[in-house]
Structure 1
């Protein structure tokens, strides 16, 4: 597995950040412009990545105020999962997005940059949204 990680610190409580992230409807607000055809429920999201692929993701696990694990809801072009981990540090919330992907050497060369950019974009978007 190849790991991509990005962190941000928010002035909101862990409970507030968790409440936002546990609902996949809110994740559209964290996506870059090359994501379109978005449809979602609280537990599942479907979208298209421009010039790449269609993806369907679902919440696999929720641990209240600690972690949300998101995995493919159906067969995906690459095996991956996304984990949002939350912890309280000095009355603030540290949110960490970890993307784990099974990538062969060719896919690693092609997908590593975009996956790290996605992780960084999402944590920055979360910072902009919730501060």
Structure 2
């Protein structure tokens, strides 16, 4: 299951955005308002939203200045959340989030709507940076 967030254009350099996403503490700034738990532990963070189990995301991959990929810490659910950063001008870049999960059809049906809302909220909040 793939979910693409809206592409967001920011008045920030590609390097500045990459450094922002590289510091997992900064993800708290773009999480939904109703996040009731957020804890960073090394190269991972745990967050909780009402009505959903807590999820731990681990930093899986970093391509300097162009991509940060987080993945599920649990082997029960296999998914990644990627931020692709593209330079438009010296101090102008775009960020596109994409969620890619390997779920059975029943699970995919149950989680598609809340995950789409989650990715859209993250994209919206990135636009406010």
The alignment's TM-score, normalised by the length of structure 2, stands at 0.89
Unaligned runs of 5+ in 2: none
Q: Could you list the structure 1 runs, at least 4 aligned residues long, displaced by more than 2 angstroms after superposition.
A: 73-76
Return the offset for 1:43. Answer: 1.9
Encode CA deviations 1:82-117: one digit per residue, 9 max, x unaligned: 111111124421101110011222222211111111
Residue 46 of structure 1 aligns with which residue?
A: 46
Q: How far apart, in 1, do the equivalents of 2:99 and 2:51 lie?
A: 20
Moved more, 57-66 or 31-40: 31-40
Residue 83 of structure 1 aligns with which residue?
A: 82
Residue 25 of structure 2 aligns with which residue?
A: 25
> 1:15 and 1:42, CA in 2 relative to 1: closer, same or farther beyond 3 A?
farther
Q: How far apart, in 1, do the equivalents of 2:54 and 2:75 lie?
A: 10
Which secondary structure does the structure 1 equivalent of 2:36 belong to? Answer: strand
Q: Would you say how many aligned residue pairs link Structure 1 and Structure 2? A: 127
Cα RMSD over matched residues?
A: 1.5
Q: How far apart, in 2, do the equivalents of 1:104 and 1:96 lie?
A: 25
Unaligned runs of 5+ in 1: none
Which secondary structure does the structure 2 equivalent of 1:35 belong to? Answer: coil
Q: How far apart, in 1, do the equivalents of 2:73 and 2:101 lie?
A: 15
Return the offset for 1:41. Answer: 4.0
Q: How far apart, in 2, do the equivalents of 1:12 and 1:27 lie?
A: 17
Asked if 1:121 corresponds to 2:117, the answer is no
Return the offset for 1:14. Answer: 0.4
Which secondary structure does the structure 2 equivalent of 1:51 belong to? Answer: coil
